[in-house]
Amino acid sequence: MEKLRTYLALGDSYTIGEAVSLPHSFPYQTVQILRSEGWAMAAPEIIAKTGWTTDELSDALQGYVFSRHYDLVTLLIGVNNQYRGRSVETYAPECEALLVRAIELAQGSAERVFVLSIPDYGVTPFAREKELNAVRIAAEIDQYNAVARALAAQYKCHFVDITPGTREAATDSALLASDGLHPSETDYRRWALMLAAGIRKQLS
């Protein structure tokens, strides 16, 4: 019997699929895609909560009892750091610590870890209603993502850049969930397809 592959997803509201049903979140859609191709995949294990920053995710990991080793781990974190006005200089070491932990959880294999970029929520109706500065948000998220990309390269993990696609929500409301802030299942599927393409190479 083929080995059942395990997947741990670490993050915040984007990982749990806020405003869509759990099966439409990107971790679940990724597993569904891989299963449809014949891979034996367990349901994803998710450690994420709406509003979490890097330090809050780190704190949650400290008290978590992990049930098994993981064949795959994803990390998507940082939007709430930016939203709360925290500096990139603070984000960098906290993100690095989480990445190191993710590699440990992936049985020490960096090639099994996938870092997803932070979406740009500045283009959303939520941001407009709050009169947030979309230009500033985009610039700061780019800075955060540059840090995450560099860390992924440094540790030889994979970096999945979903940010450009999220910016298409400025003109395509189908990419947004009903809350006017989070991605829709349609956009999450695009993330899942990108992620599955990278994972497939590791499973082969």
Q: Distance between CA 34 and CA 17 in Å, rounded?
A: 19
- The CA–CA distances, whole Å, from 133 to 79, 84, 136, 139 equal 15, 14, 5, 10
Q: Distance between CA 152 and CA 135 in Å, rounded?
A: 26
The pLDDT, as a whole number, for residue 1 is 53
Domains of the chain by range and CATH?
7-203 (3.40.50.1110)
Query: From the centroid of its chain, how far is CA 176?
Result: 16
Side chain identity at residue 17, one-letter code: G
The pLDDT, as a whole number, for residue 96 is 98
The pLDDT, as a whole number, for residue 118 is 98
The pLDDT, as a whole number, for residue 63 is 85
Q: Tens digit of pLDDT per residue, the chain (204 long)?
A: 578 999 999 999 999 999 999 999 999 999 999 999 999 999 999 999 999 999 999 999 998 999 778 999 999 999 999 999 999 999 999 999 999 999 999 999 999 999 999 999 999 999 999 999 999 999 999 999 999 999 999 999 999 999 999 999 999 999 999 999 999 999 999 999 999 999 999 887
The pLDDT, as a whole number, for residue 166 is 98
The pLDDT, as a whole number, for residue 204 is 76
